[in-house]
Amino acid sequence: MPFETQAGLAVAVEAPDMWQRIKANLASRMTPQAYQNWVMRTELESQDNGSLRVLVPDEVTKDFLEQEYSDEVRGSIRELDLPVRSVVYLTSTGRVTISDNSSAEPVFASASGQLNPRFRFENFVVGSCNQFAHAAARAVASFPSRSYNPLFLYGGVGMGKTHLMHAIGRALLEGYPGMRVVYTSSERFMNEMVACLRANRMPSFHRHYRSADVLLVDDVQILGGKERMQEEFFHTFNELYDHQKQIVISSDAAPKATSGLVERLRSRFEWGLMVDLQPPDLETKMAILDKKAEMEGVTLPEDVRIHIATKTKSNVRELEGALVKLIAYSSVTNTPITLSMAQQVLKYLIPGSERRITMESVIRTVADHFQLQPTQLKQKSNTHAIAYPRQIAMYLIKELTQSSLPEIGRVFGGKHHTTVLHSVQKIDGLRQKDPDLNRLIHKLMDSIH
């Protein structure tokens, strides 16, 4: 299917080229991060008699696709049964001039080439879940080095960290022409470093990163446990920080909770402002859907918006995936988007969307998370190690199932319904105040099956 892609909404529904189809297939084989880093910005240059010539943004991407992903690409070609004999990757340096002596720095991609044009502030929907992160990102984009340094954005998958980082980069390129903005994913940072080490070109690596006016480093958790990389990053950080250059970092967790981070780097991350992005609530999800639909030039009926927003998990990427499918389906079949179409299309898309959440499935999921047995949660024990997970389980059951308070009480060893109510209210209150608990609740909700 031509629209099988997680790449964003810009999918070709009518006759895509063969590389488009391979890309779409790769999207389902790779992690979203890897896809974003290595495949998203590639495009077909020409196809001729079974040989594809594919334009890639830079040398590192070329090496990476040739060396690390050739099996995946072959796998996609096989799976799609395409008449492709060879794939050649070409850097687009001939098309974008990097500098006057472009042979000196072929490894690095320019920031504008790396930034997804769709990830702008104007396209970012602000809700209570992300308003602080958004405000901080805006401030940094308007007054780099004078607001918060470093700015550390963290939150779970698909919460909009990359979107905000790209938006900052884009706004700076536009607002401050001539400013050297360097954006990189941590994976790319590592690969560039390895490539430079191999080629004895560390000075150019240092020059590239240490001459930035603004350095944006995405997904820094990937550096966890890799001490040599962290050391390199540490020196880059210091050099920039000492010269009052702006640094923006993202991670899937707060510095103290990012595992394998060396202490000196962690403490530096904590020097600036740390803000987290929470999972979007229903209202924000619907607003995001509207925004994405608007960008695609479609209007979603009210019942479809509600259906998609309630059936997808809190990850915005999934929300988008659902919308892409729906738009593609509607366009291919040439029929308007309706609730019954959405129900049918999304049934296959969202595994378990038809699932029935039961008390038992909730208990199992919560027990698993806390490394307990389901039976332990149902016992009378009131030690904190049991009581707290049990309260969370009660809360989730109340939220996700139709069970009544007395029914819930019975499952948990015959507790009185007021005890259940107390637990539910307690977790509800805590959740408002404690972002870590809130994240955990979302994670559990997403993993119940």
The site partner of 317 among ligand ADP, Mg ion, none (C-beta below 5 to 8 Å per kind) is: ligand ADP
Task: For residues 173 and 74, give the distance between their C-alpha atoms in angstroms, rounded to a whole number.
Answer: 37
The site partner of 291 among Mg ion, ligand ADP, none (C-beta below 5 to 8 Å per kind) is: ligand ADP
- Cβ of residue 219: shortest distance to ligand ADP, in angstroms? 7
- Cis peptide preceding 150, ω within 30 of 0: yes
- Cβ of residue 290: shortest distance to ligand ADP, in angstroms? 10
- Cβ of residue 10: shortest distance to ligand ADP, in angstroms? 11
- Cβ of residue 421: shortest distance to ligand ADP, in angstroms? 34
- Cβ of residue 158: shortest distance to Mg ion, in angstroms? 8
CB 277 within 8 A of CB 125: no
CB 362 within 8 A of CB 401: yes
162 lies in the binding site for Mg ion (CB under 5 A): yes
The site partner of 245 among Mg ion, ligand ADP, none (C-beta below 5 to 8 Å per kind) is: none
Residue closer to Mg ion (CB basis): 40 or 420: 40
Name the burial class of residue 85, with classes exposed (0-12), middle (13-18) and buried (19+) by CB atoms within 10 angstroms of its CB: exposed
Residue closer to ligand ADP (CB basis): 125 or 308: 125
C-alpha distances in Å from residue 406, one per residue of 394, 398, 403, 411, 417: 11, 11, 8, 9, 5
Structure tokens at 364: 């199992």
- Cβ of residue 124: shortest distance to ligand ADP, in angstroms? 4
| Residue number of the CB atom closest to ligand ADP | 160
- Cβ of residue 162: shortest distance to Mg ion, in angstroms? 3
Query: What radius of gyration do the chain's Cα atoms show?
Result: 24
116 lies in the binding site for Mg ion (CB under 5 A): no
Binding region for Mg ion (CB under 5 A) out of 157-165, 344-352, 394-402, 427-435:
157-165
- Cβ of residue 8: shortest distance to ligand ADP, in angstroms? 6
The site partner of 119 among ligand ADP, Mg ion, none (C-beta below 5 to 8 Å per kind) is: ligand ADP
CB 175 within 8 A of CB 211: no
The site partner of 316 among Mg ion, ligand ADP, none (C-beta below 5 to 8 Å per kind) is: ligand ADP
The site partner of 125 among ligand ADP, Mg ion, none (C-beta below 5 to 8 Å per kind) is: ligand ADP
Residues 64-103 that bind Mg ion (CB under 5 A): none
Residue closer to ligand ADP (CB basis): 62 or 161: 161
> Among all chains, which residue has been given the structure tokens 């080629």?
199
Residue closer to Mg ion (CB basis): 26 or 87: 26
Residue closer to ligand ADP (CB basis): 293 or 420: 293
130 lies in the binding site for Mg ion (CB under 5 A): no
Residue closer to ligand ADP (CB basis): 141 or 195: 141
Longest dimension (CA), the chain: 77
Contacts of 134 (CB under 8 A, 6+ apart): 121, 124, 126, 164
CB 41 within 8 A of CB 51: no
| Residue number of the CB atom closest to Mg ion | 162
- Cβ of residue 166: shortest distance to ligand ADP, in angstroms? 8
Count of CB atoms situated within 10 Å of the CB of 362: 28
Q: Among residues 362, 378, 387, which one has the least CA distance to residue 411?
A: 378
Task: For residues 158 and 422, give the distance between their C-alpha atoms in angstroms, rounded to a whole number.
Answer: 33
- Cβ of residue 127: shortest distance to ligand ADP, in angstroms? 7
Number of helices followed by number of strands (H, E) in the chain: 21, 8
The site partner of 314 among Mg ion, ligand ADP, none (C-beta below 5 to 8 Å per kind) is: none
Residue closer to Mg ion (CB basis): 138 or 161: 161
Task: For residues 85 and 50, give the distance between their C-alpha atoms in angstroms, rounded to a whole number.
Answer: 5
> Among all chains, which residue has been given the structure tokens 């307990």?
372
Residue 191 φ then ψ, to 5°: -65, -40
Binding residues vs ligand ADP (CB under 6 A): 119, 123-125, 130, 155, 157-163, 288, 291, 316-317, 320
Q: Which residues pair with 151 in a beta bridge?
A: 248, 273
Residue closer to ligand ADP (CB basis): 150 or 160: 160
- Cis peptide preceding 144, ω within 30 of 0: no
C-alpha distances in Å from residue 22, one per residue of 3, 11, 258: 11, 13, 34
- Cβ of residue 319: shortest distance to Mg ion, in angstroms? 15
The site partner of 160 among Mg ion, ligand ADP, none (C-beta below 5 to 8 Å per kind) is: ligand ADP
Residue closer to ligand ADP (CB basis): 93 or 116: 116
3-class DSSP assignment, residue 1: coil
3-class DSSP assignment, residue 312: coil
User: In the complex, which residues of this chain contact Mg ion (CB under 5 A)?
Assistant: 161-162
